[in-house]
Amino acid sequence: MNIIFYVMDCLRADHVHALGGKRDSTPTLDRLAREGVAFSHCYSQSGWTAPSAATMFSGQHPSKTGIHKMRDGLNPALPWLPEMLAQNSFRTVGFSSMYQVSKLRGFDRGFESMFDLFMDAEIMETCRARGQASRGDHYCLPLSEDLHKRALAWLDEHQKSERAYDPFYWMIWSTDTHEPFRHPPEFNKDAEPNYRGPVTGGGRPFAQVRNSRDKQHLIDLYDGALRYQDAKLGELVTELETRGILDDTLLIVVGDHGEMFWEHGLAGHGKFPWEEELRVPCVMRFPQALPQGKVYDTLMQMIDLPPTIADLAGLPTESRFAGKSLRPIFEGSATEVHDHIVLEVPFPFDRAERARVVITRDRWKYVEYSPPAFSRRLKKVIKEHGRALTVIARPGTLGMLYGHHFRKGALGLFKAAYVEPWFFLFGATTKRLFDLKTDPGENRDLAGTQSSRVSELAARLTAIDATTGGGGKATAVMSAAEQEKKIEEHLRELGYVED
């Protein structure tokens, strides 16, 4: 059994056709879902790459991984899936297109080889030959075809080597769906052909948007990048078929976090734990152990991936993984492995700023947001006032930046305009509650009318603080069983567990 763990950076779930996407831009992912399984409610532990990646390999919440801010390093005490696989005869190889998941950040732990292709001289020359803008003189942003070419070259050498019969584990981290968009223009099939605005996909394209037409063009370019990414993944799958190893390979494709296109007045990622930022696709294919054509509505989260991979690979149980194996779902012995999930969402520039999220099986979502230090709060308030003034020069941005407030009703609009900014400025923790079944767009905050439910879900966060340290600092790693025991003890103390 081989394992390919394939990450599409910035890919949100609702742009994948098999998971409800309106555009037919993912035929390869759709095929993999038909030949395997997919999850429609897979959640990332973070809205930006480094902490999300750390959870994928460690099976731990972000406050255990040690990565909260942009320059944080990994907690060396973490369990680490690539290391476990290497200790069990797997050849472990990583192909990365970005700094956030690289040797420079310590992500090469457990990898026999880690190819940081964003700073590879040959790849940089390839990027220049394409006329593709680099980020500085020392690195570029490779396309997925560059990663695939290097991966297949490694595979051909592997099959000739003395270890040809050893299984391999690949980590492929692609950034095609991360701005700036660098794909060939022929993949922009949904874009308006007569568009002549400022948005080209290059540079910082979100900053180039002035009105709804620009916004739509940016979304079209994003879907074009996804169409390109999907096509190149299809070529990789064909190469694996040609080499006769596809059906012996557990292929997992996920997004590390989503991307926002002003659904809540915000664009990009790492901004707030809205569904557009945290709900990502997860597609798996492995005919030897997985059913075919199943799209599961069950809750899952990124920390479930390491125990699931270890379970399917027949590895000894790692009790320190905080997630749960999804194997009972595949075998039909369970319909859910979680009654609820807890997401700790760190923000990249201030250790005090974080959001914690509880999502229940019946789709209640509770968000508790702690603002940054005062200096950064003041800076954000001033910046927001400046953004409001840009509406005078760019009236087309009014609906994009503030239209979501008008969907909240008179009371919601008053709260958003006059109450929440002052709470934020004075450093108050914000609590929000949404019913995702009736309000998937998260437009109606029910925290004010559902106080008992807020208290119940907030207790889940209090309980998990006992196992993680409650704040972004790397702490000693305990087993999942020990974590669950402590959580139950705290919930019982708070009156939410019956004796």
How many percent of the chain have pLDDT more than 90? 69
Dihedrals φ, ψ of 157, to 5°?
A: -70, -40
Report the pLDDT value the prediction gives residue 492, as an integer from 0 to 100: 54
- State the pLDDT confidence band at 482, using cuts at 50, 70 and 90: low
Whether the CB-CB separation of 323 and 307 falls below 8 Å is answered with yes
* Delimiting residues of CATH 3.40.720.10 domain(s) in the chain: 2-339
Question: What confidence tens digit (pLDDT) does each residue in 364-378 have?
Answer: 999 999 999 999 999
> What three-state secondary structure class fits 281?
strand
Mean pLDDT of 126-139: 75
76 burial (CB, 10 Å; 0-12 / 13-18 / 19+) is exposed
Q: What is the CA radius of gyration of the chain?
A: 22
Within a 13 Å sphere around the CA of 362, how many CA atoms are in the beta-carbon half?
2
The residue with tokens 């255990």 is: 64
447 pLDDT tier (thresholds 50, 70, 90): very high
Look at residue 416 in the predicted model and tell me its pLDDT. Answer: 76
Long-range residue pairs from 147-153, CB within 8 A, at least 24 positions apart, any chain: 147/95, 147/97, 147/117, 147/172, 147/173, 147/174, 148/172, 148/232, 148/235, 148/236, 148/239, 150/95, 150/115, 150/117, 150/123, 151/93, 151/95, 151/236, 152/236, 152/239
In this prediction, residue 406 carries a pLDDT of 79
Distance CA 103, CA 38 (A): 30
Task: Count Cβ atoms below 10 Å from residue 488 Cβ, excluding itself.
Answer: 13
- Contact present, 255 and 7 (Cβ < 8 Å): yes
CB 266 within 8 A of CB 260: yes
* HEC secondary structure over 52-87: HHHHHHHCCCHHHHCCCCCCCCCCCCCCCHHHHHHC
Q: Which two tokens stand for residue 2?
A: 């081989």
Q: pLDDT tens-digit profile of 227-263?
A: 999 999 999 999 999 999 999 999 999 999 999 999 9
Q: For residues 113 and 154, is the Cβ–Cβ distance under 8 A?
A: yes
pLDDT of residue 407: 79
Report residue 488's pLDDT band, with 50, 70 and 90 as the boundaries: low
Q: Is the pLDDT of residue 464 over 50?
A: yes
Question: 217 to each of 9, 208, 288, 293, 468, how far by Cα in Å?
Answer: 20, 11, 42, 33, 42
Q: Which pLDDT belongs to residue 110?
A: 96
pLDDT of residue 400: 87
3-state DSSP assignment of residue 170: strand
d(CA 253, CA 6): 5
Residue 470 has pLDDT above 60, yes or no: no
Which structure tokens are listed for 357? Answer: 């999220």
Residue 471 binned pLDDT confidence (cut-offs 50, 70, 90): very low
Which is higher by pLDDT, 403 or 310? 310
Which CATH superfamily includes the segment(s) 2-339?
A: Alkaline Phosphatase, subunit A (3.40.720.10)
Confidence check: pLDDT of 362 > 70: yes
End-to-end CA distance of the chain: 45
**How much is the pTM?**
0.92
Measured between alpha carbons, how far is 37 from 257 in angstroms, rounded to an integer? Answer: 20
Query: Residue 466: its pLDDT value, please?
Result: 65
> In terms of Cα–Cα distance, which of 475, 471, 468 is closest to 490?
468
Residues with Cβ < 8 Å from 455, sequence gap 6 or more?
none
Cα distance between residue 376 and residue 381, in whole Å = 9
Residues 6 or more apart in contact with residue 480 via CB below 8 angstroms: 319, 320, 321, 322, 323, 324
CB 86 within 8 A of CB 92: yes
What pLDDT is recorded for position 474?
41
Could you tell me the pLDDT band of residue 494, with boundaries at 50, 70 and 90? Answer: very low
pLDDT digits (tens, 9 = 90+) for 58-100: 999 988 898 888 778 888 889 999 999 999 999 999 999 998 8
Mean pLDDT of the chain: 89
pLDDT tens per residue, range 398-432: 888 888 887 777 777 777 777 888 888 889 999 99
Task: Give the rounded distance of the alpha carbon of 153 from its chain centre.
Answer: 28
Position 469 scores a pLDDT of 53
Place of tokens 């012995």: 333
